[in-house]
Amino acid sequence: MWLRIEPRPEPSRLMRYLSPLLAVALMLICGMVLFKVLGKSPVEGFKVFFLQPMADRYSVAELFLKATPLMLCAVGLSVGFRGNVWNIGAEGQLLVGALAGGGLALHFPNSQSPFLLPAMFMAGALGGMLWAAIPAWLRTRFNANEILTSLMLVYVAELMVSWLVHGPWKDPDGFNFPQTRMFQSKAILPVLVEGTRVNAALVVALGALVVGWIFMNRSFLGYQMKVSGQAERAGRYAGFSARRTVWLGMLIGGCCAGLAGVSEVAGPIGQITEHISPGYGFAAMIVAFVGRLEPVGIFFASLLMALLYMGGEQAQQYLGLPYSISKVFQGLLLFFLLGSDVFIHFRLRLDRGRK
Amino acid sequence: MQRLKSSITLLGLGLLAASPLAAADPAPTQVGFVYVSPVGDAGWTYQHDQGRKEMEKALAGKVTTKFVENVPEGADAERVVRQMITGGAKIVFTTSFGYMNATEKVAVAFPNNFFFHATGYKTGKNMGIYNARFYEGRYLCGVIAGKMTKSHIAGYVAAFPIPEVLQGINAFTEGMRSVDPKAEVRVIWVNSWFDPGKEREAALTLISQGADMITHHTDSTAVVQAVEEKHKENANLYSFSYHSDMSKYGPKSCLTGTTHLWGDFYTRVVKEVMAGTWKGTNVWGGMKDGMIKLAPLNAAVPAPVKTLVVKLEKEIIAGKLHPFDGPVIAQDGKELVPKGKSMTDAELGGMNYYVKGVASTLPKN
Amino acid sequence: MAPGLVSAVLFATVVAGTPLILTALGELVTEKSGVLNLGAEGIMSVGAVAAFAVTIHTGSPLLGVLAGMVAGMAMSVLFGFVALTLQANQVASGLALSIFGVGLSAFVGKPYESQTLESVPPLKIPLLSKIPVLGHALFEQQALVYVSWIMLLAVAWFLYRTRWGLVLRAVGETPVAAHAIGYNVLRIRYLAAMFGGAMAGIGGAFLSVFYTPLWVEGMVAGRGWISLALVVFATWRPLRVMLGAYLFGGAMITQMFVQGSGLRLDIPAQFLSALPYLATVVVLVLISRNRSTIRLNSPASLGQPFMPDA
């Protein structure tokens, strides 16, 4: 007896939006069971993990701070994913963006120009795009699979950061520790809400969401990408170039990831170290999927994802659970989402009798 | 956004009310610890956690402690430190170099709380720093190695060329050559604080290149275990552990180790803070302060060597012996410290070279 | 170089390459059936912790390896359910498996972090281990090293010399055609993914029970990702997997030997570490640049879901 799925006559719009909620619910149930198994009260566990990170003004601000790079990366990725361009190297593009933007800050340690920060964002976007252009070029010129090349380049980027902070960019007054100088004040993003760390990068991220929404829903180019993503052949008949889809998808993804990199180094970190991103580029893929590749969805999904990170910290302090529980939740969430997504296009049937 | 925030804040008010805010005197003082890696069973973080437990025991009833492990050294550290404070902690210890700037920022924001950062260099009105003179233990390990080696080669598995690691390598070399002038020390950088596979490979590499005294400045027990295994083939192959006493992992072959003891220090500063007598901390404690100790010597160490080590240990504690007493000669032959003088703390802090006797070359980067 | 040193370098290279061969071989078979499972890092982690725990409790490394294998298979069934039965995006499913597996292993493995295992003695092959230089390096290894060679030959033989190997490749090339002539594409892909999971589980077991031997969070340290790169680097050919694994392993080992011998090494370590990834990109470009080389080398329907009724 095999489970069989059969296509729905038409994709279910309802399921499309219900599916993420279903996934979150399943993850929560799983989480409660997990707390129970570990001998913790499920209610207490839920409170600590999912409510405590929103307990006060500062924590809520932190939630937005943590969500900012996720939002940026995810909105860029979603443009590509819609066009079937599988850029899974946002982590690397984020790092190169951070290097480009941060490098500018280090190069002008005394600049008083108000344009320094905008220039850093520009440099970051270019850096991210440059790193994304490599898989795009290899794909369009040599037909090399962008999933694999963009992934490989993540590791190259990580090693590049490591080399720079251990070598040429090391803070000369930093006792040989692997990090650069702190950025000067003109290269640090202004804080939006006094007493918190939430900064101007959030505005950039929200702006990216708006631009992303307009691009996807109101522009001809965005429409073209969607069509060629859904049916490459149809797109080609209609005169859309597959090549352009790849380039656009990769470059937009790289641009946003690069911005995210700058938002971290010019925001809460304030310098370049080996620990710029705890895997935002990968987590952003989960965010993009859970957010249905749509800016509004991504907004909420990135906050949820930030909550999972912060819940893990809380669970350690108040429940004595290891931090890795965050990753378990993240993995479960994506699994459940992918699982429930199937019901958008399909129905499940039990297939008795064998072929 | 403001609206969203206030509604969520309301939601959390119930939780906040439950947390102990500025309670009266009898309530115990809460002390928080931020760790960079999982506590595990040995290594850097394990020793800090041992210190936390000792302090908790010594001040039983007066303090409660909590910790967060595996905190990345990026943007997250600041939040964790801050949430420890808002969660009721009066004092927070941050135990990795990468938390320096985060700790400083929170210390400025919370002038009535107290912060202690391990291994960094930034201090403040309410922020102290502390570290230990690990190199003193390294020197003694080097002496034992020099007495026991047959191949006159020691192997050193190291993580990153920061001053603390270089102090260890150089002190070990000075110690070894003080009793065996022919000795040389070979270093392999694994470029990771923690990769048991690579650490083991590096140890085996050094062994196959003739080293019979092996030590490490990385965070796992892999090196000690690798040596224990190879000890079966070469009875004169020994290891020296670091951070923790790892004799459990090398009962036959681990001769001793430089262990870190933070308990007394933690107890002392927490007491000072509670009594209101704390006035800034810039502690760089060594054997004298009980922050560094050799693990119990293995039975394989001959009695005369034991006696020598005990004597040297006493001299270090008494301040009569400094591992970097002049003349200290750099690898390229330049005299760094003339005879009759010792290296200053500032010079130690900026160490970025090998001394004579280290056979490897320092990667340039 | 002295013969003893050559032997030591070779020995260490073989050891370092073994977990990569095991995992990459499994992934190769999976990918040959048209399934891209990016979860190797997670599977290895879970395999490593399962193997370690069972070895601790039973005292038997053999049972430990079996446990790693079963755990790896369980992980790949989870992946299969989402990516094959439910036809979710394979890239995303693999990524989920990776994140989940690394988290789960850390979580489950907590109580084992403090425990130690007696190291398993190597298996000396009579006569062969007496060969000068090579004998020690090749024939005084852990049993799993020989297993990796046997599996290498077995996979090569299976893929290119048996009917079922042909079917598996057909499923990876043109699933529609394979389905049309009556093969159950889904079932074959499941089996291929499970084989991949089992091998990655054994790869993890090698790390925790034979290589280090210990369990700590994060000990797989990226070897799963390197294995994925390796499959591409090897252009989906079993014997080239071995070559690649020993090249990658050998590069690391040689660098250590150079350092230990005191020779000056002015290339930054990070550059050497980046080489496997760069080499993989280059190989990928070389084989992809025209239609015939890519068809010869990579499974045509890699990563694409197959729906029987489409």
Q: Choose between C181 and C194: higher pLDDT.
A: C194
CB contacts, 8 Å: A267 with chain B: 75
> To the nearest whole angstrom, how far is the Cα of B64 from the nearest Cα of chain A?
12
How buried is B3 (Cβ within 10 angstroms: 0-12 exposed, 13-18 middle, 19+ buried)? exposed
Confidence of residue A117 (pLDDT cuts 50, 70, 90): very high
Residues 6 or more apart whose Cβ sits within 8 Å of residue A279 = A91
Query: Could you tell me if A276 lies within 8 Å of chain B, comparing CB atoms?
Result: yes
Looking at the fold, whether B190 and B318 belong to one and the same domain comes out as: yes
The verdict on a CB contact (< 8 Å) between A327 and C93 is no
Query: Could you tell me if C15 lies within 8 Å of chain B, comparing CB atoms?
Result: yes
What average pLDDT does the segment A31-51 reach? 88
Q: How far apart are CA B364 and CA B76, in angstroms?
A: 31
Indicate the residue of B15, B68, B74 with minimum beta-carbon distance to A275. Answer: B74
The set of chains that have 3 or more CB pairs under 8 A with A is B, C
Q: Does C42 score more than 50 pLDDT?
A: yes
Q: Which long-range contacts (CB under 8 A, 24 or more apart) does B230-233 make?
A: B230/B204
Indicate the residue of C100, C294, C302 with minimum beta-carbon distance to A331. Answer: C100
* Identity of residue C6: V
* Pure H helices in A143-219: 146-166, 201-218
Q: Where are the beta strands (DSSP E) in A21-83?
A: none
Looking at the fold, whether B34 and B60 belong to one and the same domain comes out as: yes
State how beta strands B29-34 and B63-68 pair.
parallel
CB contacts, 8 Å: B101 with chain A: 182, 270-271
Q: Does A137 score more than 90 pLDDT?
A: yes
Q: Count structural domains, chain C.
A: 1
Q: Report the first-to-last Cα separation within chain A, whole angstroms.
A: 10
Looking at the fold, whether B45 and B153 belong to one and the same domain comes out as: no
Sign of CA pseudo-dihedral B103, B105, B108, B109: negative
User: What percent of chain C stands above pLDDT 90?
Assistant: 51
Q: How far apart are CA B43 and CA B47, in angstroms?
A: 6
Residue B23 lies in a domain: no
Mutate to test the interface with A, among B35, B83, B352, B362 (most CBs of A within 10 A): B83
Q: Any idea what DSSP says for residue C78?
A: H
* Pure H helices in chain C: 3-32, 40-58, 61-80, 90-109, 134-139, 143-161, 163-173, 175-180, 185-205, 223-233, 238-260, 269-288, 291-297
Compute how many other C-beta atoms are within 10 angstroms of the C-beta atom of residue A184: 16
* Identity of residue B217: H
Q: Count structural domains, chain B.
A: 2
pLDDT tens digits, A235-261: 666 666 788 889 999 999 999 999 999
Confidence of residue C267 (pLDDT cuts 50, 70, 90): confident
Q: Choose between A102 and C86: higher pLDDT.
A: A102
Please report the pLDDT score of residue B195 as a whole number: 82
Q: Hey, is B38 helix, strand or coil?
A: coil
H/E run at residue B184: strand B184-189
Looking at the fold, whether B39 and B145 belong to one and the same domain comes out as: no
The verdict on a CB contact (< 8 Å) between B248 and C116 is yes
State how beta strands B335-337 and B213-217 pair.
unpaired
The verdict on a CB contact (< 8 Å) between A338 and C92 is yes
Q: How far apart are CA C191 and CA C187, in angstroms?
A: 6
Q: Any idea what DSSP says for residue A253?
A: H
Q: Any idea what DSSP says for residue A186?
A: G
Which CATH number goes with the domain that contains B329?
Answer: 3.40.50.2300
The set of chains that have 3 or more CB pairs under 8 A with C is A, B
Asked if C206 and C143 touch (Cβ cutoff 8 Å), the reply is no
Looking at the fold, whether B34 and B106 belong to one and the same domain comes out as: yes
Q: How far apart are CA A151 and CA A138, in angstroms?
A: 13
The verdict on a CB contact (< 8 Å) between C87 and A5 is yes
Q: Hey, is B284 helix, strand or coil?
A: strand
The set of chains that have 3 or more CB pairs under 8 A with B is A, C
Residues paired with A273 in a beta bridge: A179
The verdict on a CB contact (< 8 Å) between A166 and B72 is no
pLDDT tens digits, A84-110: 888 999 999 999 999 999 999 999 999
Residue C164 lies in a domain: yes
Distances (CA, A) of B240 to A192, B232, B256, C272: 52, 17, 5, 29
Residue C162 lies in a domain: yes
Please report the pLDDT score of residue A24 as a whole number: 92
The verdict on a CB contact (< 8 Å) between C221 and B225 is no
Measured between CA atoms, the residue of chain C closest to residue A167 is: C268
Looking at the fold, whether B164 and B252 belong to one and the same domain comes out as: yes
Residue C134 lies in a domain: yes
Mutate to test the interface with B, among A46, A48, A59, A276 (most CBs of B within 10 A): A59
Please report the pLDDT score of residue C309 as a whole number: 57
Please report the pLDDT score of residue B14 as a whole number: 38
Query: In chain A, helix, strand, coil percent, each to 5?
Result: 70, 5, 25
Please report the pLDDT score of residue A303 as a whole number: 95
Q: What angle do CA B222, C275, C286 make, to 5 degrees?
A: 140
Looking at the fold, whether B237 and B308 belong to one and the same domain comes out as: yes
Residue C216, phi then psi, degrees to nearest 5: -145, 150
Q: Hey, is A195 helix, strand or coil?
A: coil
CB contacts, 8 Å: B38 with chain C: 106, 110, 113, 216-217
CB contacts, 8 Å: A342 with chain C: 86-88
Please report the pLDDT score of residue A351 as a whole number: 63
Q: Which long-range contacts (CB under 8 A, 24 or more apart) does A106-110 make?
A: A106/A169, A106/A180, A106/A181, A106/A183, A106/A272, A108/A184, A108/A187, A109/A181, A109/A184, A110/A184
Q: How far apart are CA A135 and CA A254, in angstroms?
A: 11
Q: Does C46 score more than 60 pLDDT?
A: yes
The verdict on a CB contact (< 8 Å) between A278 and B76 is yes
Looking at the fold, whether B205 and B273 belong to one and the same domain comes out as: no
Structural domain boundaries enclosing B53: 29-133+262-288
* Identity of residue A223: Y
Residue B2 lies in a domain: no
Q: Does C114 score more than 80 pLDDT?
A: no
Residue C41 lies in a domain: yes
Q: Report the first-to-last Cα separation within chain C, whole angstroms.
A: 62
Residue C206 lies in a domain: yes
Looking at the fold, whether B177 and B120 belong to one and the same domain comes out as: no
> To the nearest whole angstrom, how far is the Cα of C285 from the nearest Cα of chain B?
30
What average pLDDT does the segment C270-282 reach? 83
H/E run at residue A297: helix A295-319
CB contacts, 8 Å: A61 with chain B: 5
Structure tokens at C281: 């990109």
Looking at the fold, whether B187 and B236 belong to one and the same domain comes out as: yes
Q: Hey, is A96 helix, strand or coil?
A: helix
Confidence of residue A354 (pLDDT cuts 50, 70, 90): very low
Question: For chain B, which ranges sit under pLDDT 70?
Answer: 1-26, 364-365
Which CATH number goes with the domain that contains C285?
Answer: 1.10.3470
Residue C306 lies in a domain: no
Q: What angle do CA C223, C256, C14 make, to 5 degrees?
A: 55
Residue B113 lies in a domain: yes
pLDDT tens digits, A284-326: 998 998 898 999 999 999 999 999 988 888 888 788 788 788 8
Compute how many other C-beta atoms are within 10 angstroms of the C-beta atom of residue A182: 18
Distances (CA, A) of C85 to A14, A61, A117, C190, C306: 22, 41, 49, 9, 10
Indicate the residue of B67, B86, B166 with minimum beta-carbon distance to A56. Answer: B86
State how beta strands B91-94 and B127-132 pair.
unpaired
Domain extents in chain A: 69-296
Q: How far apart are CA A16 and CA A343, in angstroms?
A: 8
Structural domain boundaries enclosing C221: 3-297
Q: How far apart are CA C204 and CA C216, in angstroms?
A: 12
Asked if C55 and C61 touch (Cβ cutoff 8 Å), the reply is yes
Q: Choose between C253 and A104: higher pLDDT.
A: A104
> To the nearest whole angstrom, how far is the Cα of B203 from the nearest Cα of chain A?
23
Residue B1 lies in a domain: no
Confidence of residue C265 (pLDDT cuts 50, 70, 90): low
How buried is A138 (Cβ within 10 angstroms: 0-12 exposed, 13-18 middle, 19+ buried)? buried
Indicate the residue of C253, C262, C269 with minimum beta-carbon distance to B186. Answer: C262
- Measured in whole angstroms, how far is the alpha carbon of residue B108 from the centre of its chain? 26
Buried b (16+ CB within 10 A) or exposed e, A275-306: bbbbebbbbbbbbbbbbbbbbebbbbbbbbbb
Residue C128 lies in a domain: yes
Query: Could you tell me if C119 lies within 8 Å of chain B, comparing CB atoms?
Result: yes
Compute how many other C-beta atoms are within 10 angstroms of the C-beta atom of residue A204: 20
What length does chain C have? 310
Structure tokens at C110: 């907590």
Q: Any idea what DSSP says for residue C127?
A: T
What average pLDDT does the segment C108-124 reach? 82
Residue carrying the six token digits 């060629």: A228
Residue C31 lies in a domain: yes
